[in-house]
């Protein structure tokens, strides 16, 4: 996808906009850690937050594996702490979303819904979005029983039966959270073994409200005004059956938010931005960090580390440009 911003704004209007040293796209752990490091280098970075301040981590009820919080910390609370620390050193947050970029010229150009920015260095930390099942009924019942965020919607399922689809950390974390409200949580997993960490597996297996259906996938979500049932299929036997449920929570991984950069940056076959070990993309001055380029770890602590590294490299790039 080629994006030509030359038609978006006239040269005179572009020249009237000040050039930022660093613009950071995204305000999750990677983006806010980058903002902190760039701010401490006195670059006064501008962060375009996108639609989710704190990123996917802010939707997690409790994060127990981030260093420095032995009792755990709420995802939203951690995001607010990241933001406060970055702003303390001079980072600026704009609650706006990039809808087009032009990386073919320098300074780079970023257009939001109401404004255009220019930047000498760009750090992309746009994260990833939840994968969908792509089955009949999923789109129709999203917001009416289908959800991708237990923290957001769990309260609506008090004393109800829900299904959680997935077998990784997110599925078990959110499933355990749902037991605060739901009468029963059934985890449906396409394999016969979970991918989640050992502690989460133990907690889920020991929770009396949680049960498992193995080697099974959801083929359809059914209902009238709201979700009433799912059609399941055993992937080994081919057997199908209908199971009543009040809600379906889907946690089957994420896809990187890289649509803006297709045709401008090198992406891998899954759409993740390709970087070298120093967070550099194929365009000098453009760096990427966090889940937008990381299909492997996808942890708050690793994303924050990558954001810090990207900012350090952006500082070095700007110094070399000045030199």
From the list 152, 192, 266, 268, the catalytic residue is 152
Q: Which fold has domain 146-250?
A: FAD/NAD(P)-binding domain (3.50.50)
Smallest CA-to-CA distance from 128 within 108, 143, 148, 111 is with 148
Domain range summary for the chain, segments of one domain joined by +: 5-129+254-322, 146-250
152: annotated active-site residue: yes
Q: Which residue has the tokens 């030509």?
A: 4
CATH T-level assignment (fold) for domain 5-129+254-322: FAD/NAD(P)-binding domain (3.50.50)
- Tens place of pLDDT per residue across the chain (323 aa): 333 333 334 333 444 578 999 999 999 999 999 999 999 999 999 999 998 888 888 878 788 889 999 999 988 999 999 999 999 999 999 999 999 999 999 999 999 988 999 999 999 999 999 999 999 999 999 989 999 988 888 999 999 999 999 999 999 999 999 999 999 999 999 999 999 999 999 999 999 999 999 999 999 999 999 999 999 999 999 999 999 999 999 999 889 999 999 999 999 999 999 999 999 999 999 999 999 999 888 889 999 999 999 999 999 999 999 87
- For the question of residue 159 being annotated catalytic, the response is no
Q: Which of 21, 102, 153, 169 is catalytic?
A: 153
HEC-encoded secondary structure of 51-120: CCCCCHHHHCCCECCCCCCCCCECHHHHHHHHHHHHHHCCCEEECCCEEEEECCCCCEEEEECCCEEEEE
Active site residue 153: yes
**Residue of 132, 140, 162, 130 whose CA lies nearest to 222:** 140
> Mind giving me the DSSP string for 146-174?
EES-HHHHGGGGTT-EEEEE--SHHHHHH
Match 């209007």 to its residue by tokens.
13
Rounded-to-integer distance, Cα 216 and Cα 194, Å: 13
Q: How many CA atoms lie within 13 A of 177 on its CB side?
A: 22
The rounded Cα 116 to chain-centroid distance in angstroms is 24
Tell me if 23 sits within 8 A of 36, measured CB to CB.
no
120 contacts 106 by C-beta, under 8 angstroms: yes
Q: CA-CA distance, 119 to 284, in Å (whole number)?
A: 12
**Residue bearing tokens 């789109």:** 139
Q: How far apart are CA 63 and CA 80, in angstroms?
A: 14
The yes-or-no answer to whether 5-129+254-322 and 146-250 have a common fold is yes
Which of helix, strand or coil describes residue 132?
coil
Helices (H), 180-293: 198-206
């Amino acid at each position: 996808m080629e994006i030509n911003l030359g038609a978006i704004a006239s040269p005179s209007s572009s020249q009237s906009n000040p050039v930022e040293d660093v613009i950071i796209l995204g305000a999750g752990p990677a983006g806010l850690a980058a903002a902190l490091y760039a701010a401490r280098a006195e670059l006064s970075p501008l962060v375009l937050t996108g639609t989710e301040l704190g990123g996917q981590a802010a939707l997690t009820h409790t994060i127990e594996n981030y260093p420095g919080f032995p009792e755990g910390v709420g995802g939203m609370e951690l995001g607010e702490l990241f933001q406060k620390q970055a702003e303390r050193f001079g980072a600026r947050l704009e609650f706006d979303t990039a809808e087009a970029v032009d990386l073919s010229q320098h300074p780079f150009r970023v257009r939001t819904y109401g404004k255009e920015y220019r930047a000498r260095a760009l750090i992309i930390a746009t994260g990833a979005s939840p994968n969908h099942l792509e089955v009949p009924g999923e789109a129709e019942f999203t917001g009416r029983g289908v959800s991708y965020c237990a923290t957001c919607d769990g309260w609506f399922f008090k004393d109800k039966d829900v299904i959680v689809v997935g077998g990784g950390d997110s599925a078990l974390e959110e499933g355990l959270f749902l037991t605060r409200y739901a009468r029963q949580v059934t985890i449906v997993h396409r394999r016969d073994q979970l991918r989640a960490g050992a502690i989460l597996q133990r907690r889920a297996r020991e929770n009396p409200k949680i049960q498992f259906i193995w080697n099974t996938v959801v083929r359809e979500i059914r209902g009238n005004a709201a979700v009433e049932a799912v059609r399941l299929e055993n992937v080994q036997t081919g057997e199908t059956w209908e199971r009543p449920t009040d809600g379906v929570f889907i946690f089957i991984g994420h896809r990187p938010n890289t649509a803006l950069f297709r045709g401008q940056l090198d992406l891998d076959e899954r759409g993740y931005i390709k970087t070298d070990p120093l967070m550099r993309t194929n365009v000098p001055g453009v760096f990427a960090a966090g889940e937008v380029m990381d299909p492997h770890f996808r942890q708050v602590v690793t994303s924050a580390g990558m954001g810090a590294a990207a900012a350090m490299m952006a500082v070095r790039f700007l110094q070399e440009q000045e030199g």
